Chain A
Amino acid sequence: KQEVTQIPAALSVPEGENLVLNCSFTDSAIYNLQWFRQDPGKGLTSLLLIQSSQREQTSGRLNASLDKSSGRSTLYIAASQPGDSATYLCAVSGNQFYFGTGTSLTVIP
């Protein structure tokens, strides 16, 4: 069974810092990997989708990379803002998505 791990579990940074969130998975046979953002008590908002044939995707201040062979993905957030405070989840897909437990990010003004 696919297992997804996210490190760190929680992260607190001052506003303006660049930061990296890590995601690792045990089975490299995936269709794609998706990063989500979740605000407290809310549903999941898709940030970036990386197909298995791709190495990275970018959207604004966000950049996600994928290394299937090593079972790793990173989400890079540039110039963090207080509005980035949320839980970030990565998910890898077979017939279903397998989720990590998330990284809780706090950006301090």
Chain B
Amino acid sequence: DTGVSQDPRHKITKRGQNVTFRCDPISEHNRLYWYRQTLGQGPEFLTYFQNEAQLEKSRLLSDRFSAERPKGSFSTLEIQRTEQGDSAMYLCASSPLVDGYTFGSGTRLTVV
């Protein structure tokens, strides 16, 4: 296990389409986080899981966004009816219970 993997690396989609991103965390890490980053800004928290339980969601996570971690391993983040404002880098990170984060390389979403 060499780190956190995210797929795809890049996604271009038309406005109104649905997209799904995948994150594979470091296998022994209990916690998995999703962040969104726009140009020139620091990452903004979206949601996190401890094992399969989604423990916190940001108000940034509108009802068009849903995240799952069905077996406490990989996670998916789905955006329905994408809007141009959803264009950003979506970052996944994992960590042991209370410790530093390891980030993936991110998925860059462009909504045209």
Contacts and interface: CB of A to CB of B under 8 A. Distances in A.
Interface residues on B, range: 20 to 34
Contact of A49 (B6, B48, B100): B100
Contacts of A96: 33, 45, 48, 56
Interface centre among A41, A89, A95, A96 (most CB of B within 10 A): A96
A63 interface: no
Interface string B42-61: 11110010000001100000
Chain A contact residues: helix, strand, loop or mixed? strand
A101 B91 contact: no
B74 interface: no
Contacts, number: 59
Interface in B89-106: 89, 91, 93, 98-106
A100 B100 contact: no
Contact of B105 (A31, A34, A42, A91): A42
A44 B36 CA distance: 12
Contacts of B93: 44, 97
B2 interface: no
A99 interface: yes
Interface of A: 4, 31-32, 34, 36, 41-46, 49, 89, 91, 93, 95-102
21 contacts: A32-B98, A34-B101, A36-B103, A41-B89, A44-B43, A45-B103, A46-B101, A46-B103, A91-B43, A93-B98, A95-B48, A95-B55, A96-B33, A97-B45, A97-B93, A98-B45, A99-B35, A99-B42, A99-B43, A99-B44, A102-B42
